Chains A and B, each alone.
Chain A
Amino acid sequence: MSLFLVLEESGGKISRLSWETLAAAQRLTSAEEIVAVVVGADTAALAAEAAAKPVGKVVRVEHPLLERYTADGYCAALHQLIKSRGPAQWVVFPHTYQVRDYAPALACRMGQVLIGDVTGIEGGAVFTRQLLQGRLNGSVRHHENGPCLVSVQAGAFRAGEDDAHANAEPAPIEVFTPTLDPAQIRTRPSDPYRESAQTVDLGSAQRIVSVGRGIKGQENLPLIEALAQALDAELAASRPICDSGWLPLERQVGSSGHTVAPRLYLAIGISGAIQHLVGMKGSECIVAINKDPDAPIFEVADYGIVGDLFEVVPALTEAVKMAK
């Protein structure tokens, strides 16, 4: 049975997460059964990139009205594609903001329910996803006949480094032109924009000290700043801190902020919801300081101190200074 793999573009190329999603798709079916799908107004370059990967076929879903993403356009186009190609067993997406915006509606249109944010495949039609901000895992089963729609969390599957078989022929490429009417597209999106010039580059920082809800109030931030200074590290934060306006948005690490991979990442008073973990788990060495020994942050930490950050952080700042 066939599998539609919906790829996403980032900076003119297929995104890295899309290739991780291919790795998940390969666990569900054989390469020949995978139909890679690229969507847009001109997808020639993306399709060629996809055709070099171990997939059975590439379909270019192309229409001038798909130039800019809209939920209405993507839902209609992909629904038509899936219906036209006979029964598919799987439709697999990267779990991105864009997919979250339309895939649940696409599933609904087919009487299905997307199994979103999947971190593991348990076999059959059972998938693992996180619950309660990462504190528990859930096993979710798909029951219905008809396609099972799944979106794959970043970092859950390893993208094949060399799966572009050097000698293999590129996969055949087809064009699918959906029937779209401008009146169907009800939303009018603008170009993406940034709020303000970036003054800090977390992406290239070697050391990051990151702070979360555990800090309790803005007045306590100097405690963390002192440690960051002693370590010669950049200061960062989890979402709630930036939401409260205690630190600027440009210092936020996580799925809605920056993805970082420093040599040292110190997470202080951060419980470790999946949205935060995806932004920092690629760090070389992760240290967690948290009062809750069951906090999910300890699942990815190399070193941990379970304790009150208001006692541990000043002691750590002292110890760092002493060791210099």
Chain B
Amino acid sequence: MKIIVAIKQVPSRDAQVRIAPSGNWIDETDLEWAMNEPDAHALEEALQLKEKHDGEVVVVSAGPERVAATIREALAKGADGAIHILCDDLGARDALGVAKLLAAAIQPEDPDLVLTGLQSEDLGLGQTGVILAELLGLPHATLILHVEKIETGIKVKRELEEGWFQSIEMPLPALVTMQSGGNKLRYSTLMGIKRAKTKDLRTVTAVELGVDAAPVVTLEQISAPKKQKSTQILTGSPKEAATALVEKLKTEARVL
């Protein structure tokens, strides 16, 4: 089974984000980057499927030079090869534009299964996988916790709202977007990191893929959210703050 995993590099969870002077994105100077967590779960699911059924796992990621570090991490964890779609204008492309880039790179690979995370931790659009399925003409399922290979294709466990689940069967090739939490992420080993250096990392540019950037929707401006409530911040030592809070909860909010 040949599995493609689409991964994105995003600002690391603990990174301090500041609005860039342009006003329409964050300041990327000195930012720390990481593999998007749901994508890491997609990679893990792909690696587990490969271990069970044999085959090949190829990761694909779009973005500037820095993305190579995240691709190396995926290779170190066990992916067999990678395609880096080199583009410096990822932020200027909308979800359709990014999906077109990925589709153009994935199509010639002729995969049996395409996996990706359900959404990115930066833009949080949750659309790339679904659009990619539409562009590739594949059946899809989203918010998946587990993928099982069956005779007729795959059977996936889908998360619904309020603690409900559903299983879905579909033929291959197919595309699945993974929810986090369905599998346990592995760490890269020293051996894995060493091996990653010898693995096949191909680079292709957006121009070579023949995909232009003309967006349908654009992110015009970003801003700090307005407060929905006026929060009373209780200060002092932990003990003072805790005592003041209990007093407020008793006499002001009357919930104790």
A interface vs B, CB < 8 Å?
Answer: 71-72, 75, 96-97, 100-102, 104-105, 107-109, 111-117, 126, 129-144, 186-195, 198, 207, 231, 239-240, 242-244, 249-250, 252, 255-259, 263-264, 274, 281, 284-288, 293, 296, 298-308, 311-312, 314-316, 318-320, 322-323
Give Cα A319–Cα B250 distance, bound, in whole angstroms: 12
Point out the residues of chain A lying under 8 angstroms from B125, CB to CB. Answer: 116-117
Cα A255 to Cα B166 with chains together (Å): 16
Quick one: closest A residue to B165, CB to CB? A193
Instruction: Scan residues 142-194 of chain B and give those whose CB is less than 8 A from a CB of chain A.
Output: 142-143, 158-171, 179-181
| Pairwise interchain contact A97-B241, C-beta atoms closer than 8 A | no
- In the complex, what distance in Å separates the CA atom of A264 from the CA atom of B124? 29
Given contacts A104-B130, A136-B26, A315-B239, contact A301 B216 (CB under 8 A): no
Output the least CB separation between A134 and chain B (Å).
Answer: 7
* Known contacts A113-B95, A301-B231; is-contact A312 B238 (Cβ 8 Å): yes
A305 and B169 alpha carbons, distance in the complex (Å) = 48
Among B218, B224, B242, chain A packs the most CB atoms within 10 A around the CB of: B242
- Complex Cα distance, B197 from A271, in Å, reads 37
Closest 5 CB pairs of A and B: A243-B181, A186-B139, A104-B127, A315-B242, A105-B134
A191 and B166: CB pair below 8 A? yes
In the bound complex, residues from chain A placing their C-beta under 8 Å from that of B224 are 136-137
> Could you tell me the distance between the alpha carbons of A165 and B247 in the complex, rounded to whole angstroms?
46
Q: Is the interface of A mostly helix, strand, loop or mixed?
A: mixed
Interface on chain B toward A: helix, strand, loop, or mixed SS?
mixed
Residues of A within 8 A of B163 (CB): 194-195, 198, 249-250, 252, 257-258
Known: A97-B143, A100-B142. A306 touches B233 (CB 8 A): yes
Tell me whether B140 is interfacial, beta carbon within 8 Å.
yes
In whole angstroms, how far apart are the Cα atoms of A80 and B231 in the complex?
A: 48
Option from A102, A112, A192, A240 in Cβ contact (under 8 Å) with B160: A192
Q: Name the one of A255, A302, A308 contacting B232, with C-beta atoms under 8 angstroms.
A: A302
B69 in contact (CB, < 8 A): no
Q: How far is the CA of A263 from the CA of B166 in the complex (A)?
A: 33
Q: How far is the CA of A322 from the CA of B239 in the complex (A)?
A: 12
Give residues in B with beta carbon < 8 Å to A.
11, 13, 17, 19, 26, 94-96, 99, 121-127, 130-131, 133-135, 139-143, 158-171, 179-181, 215-229, 231-235, 238-239, 241-243, 245-250, 253, 255-256
Query: Inside 8 A of B123's CB, which chain A residues have their CB?
Result: 131
A80 vs chain B, min Cβ distance (A): 16
Find A141's partner among B180, B220, B235, B241 (CB 8 Å cutoff).
B220
In the bound complex, CA of A312 to CA of B244 (Å): 12
Distance of A320 Cα from B179 Cα, bound (Å): 38
A140–B231 CB distance below 8 A: no
Which of chain A's residues have a CB closer than 8 A to the CB of B231?
288, 298-299, 301-304
B242 proximity list for chain A (CB < 8 A): 305, 312, 315-316, 318-319
Chain B residues lying within 8 Å of A305, measured Cβ to Cβ, are: 233-234, 238, 241-242, 245
B42 to chain A, nearest CB (A): 14
Known: A108-B130, A187-B169. 7 other contacts (CB 8 A): A117-B126, A133-B124, A136-B222, A187-B140, A239-B181, A305-B238, A315-B241
Residues of chain A with a CB closer than 8 A to B11's CB: 132
A111 touching B216 in the complex, CB below 8 Å, given contacts A192-B164, A307-B238: yes
Q: CB < 8 Å: which of A242, A249, A300, A307 contacts B229?
A: A300
A243–B165 touching, CB < 8 Å: no
Give the Cβ gap from A116 to chain B, nearest Cβ, in Å. 6
Contact yes or no, A97 B161, CB < 8 A: yes
A-B contact pairs, 22 of them (CB 8 A): A96-B161, A101-B143, A102-B130, A108-B96, A113-B95, A115-B217, A116-B126, A129-B124, A132-B122, A143-B218, A188-B169, A188-B170, A190-B167, A198-B163, A256-B159, A256-B161, A281-B228, A286-B229, A302-B253, A303-B231, A311-B238, A315-B241
The distance in angstroms between the C-alpha atoms of A141 and B221, with both chains bound, is 9
Which of B13, B221, B234 contacts A138 (CB under 8 A)? B221
